[in-house]
């Protein structure tokens, strides 16, 4: 059993999908989709810190989008920079980068299989991707 919950983040240029674990560390649930503006440096770190404190979070798993050849491209660099900003705001927090190459595609596929309309998919895709990132990490622990 975990002492603290774990959150998963799917960091994009306009949104951050947020998922949270149960206390047992078995399942990930979608929590929120945060609107951000990467270009203006509005990253929503304060809101993430609020969630970390409110939910008694001990670790954060951040999706690291890699290219299929395992190299890190522009979005991967942006995720690593996001990790640095979060580390500054929460120096004692465990931050884990998690290969998320297929998480958004998996989220999209499960929403399609559930016959969710395109408009609804747009609203929940980042949160669902965060669930896939966090669930992948939790499964690797158990």
Q: What is the CATH number of the domain that holds 103?
A: 3.30.420.140
At residue 25, what are phi and psi to the nearest 5 degrees?
75, 25
Q: Which domain holds residue 118?
A: 5-141
For 44-95, write each residue's pLDDT tens digit.
Answer: 999 999 999 999 999 999 999 888 888 898 999 999 999 999 999 999 999 9
**Residues 39, 54 contacting (CB under 8 angstroms):** no
> Does the model's pTM come out above 0.85?
yes
pLDDT surpasses 90 at 117: no
Phi-psi region of 78 (alpha: psi -120 to 50; beta: other; left: phi over 0): alpha
- Total tally of structural domains belonging to the chain: 1
**Residues 66, 102 contacting (CB under 8 angstroms):** no
Other beta carbons within 10 angstroms of residue 136's beta carbon come to: 19
Q: pLDDT band at 105, cuts 50/70/90? A: confident
């Amino acid at each position: 059993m975990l002492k603290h919950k774990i959150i998963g983040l799917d960091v994009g240029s306009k949104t951050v999908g947020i998922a949270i674990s149960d206390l047992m560390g078995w399942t990930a649930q979608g929590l929120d989709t945060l609107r951000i503006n990467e270009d203006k440096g509005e990253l929503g770190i304060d809101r993430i810190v609020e969630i970390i404190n409110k939910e008694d979070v001990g670790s954060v798993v951040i999706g690291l989008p890699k290219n299929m050849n395992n190299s890190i491209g522009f979005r991967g660099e942006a995720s690593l920079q996001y990790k640095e900003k979060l580390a500054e705001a929460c120096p004692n927090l465990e931050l884990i980068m998690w290969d998320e190459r297929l998480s958004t595609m998996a989220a999209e596929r499960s929403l399609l299989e559930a016959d969710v309309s395109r408009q609804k998919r747009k609203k929940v895709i980042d949160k669902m991707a965060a669930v896939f990132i966090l669930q992948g990490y939790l499964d690797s622990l158990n």
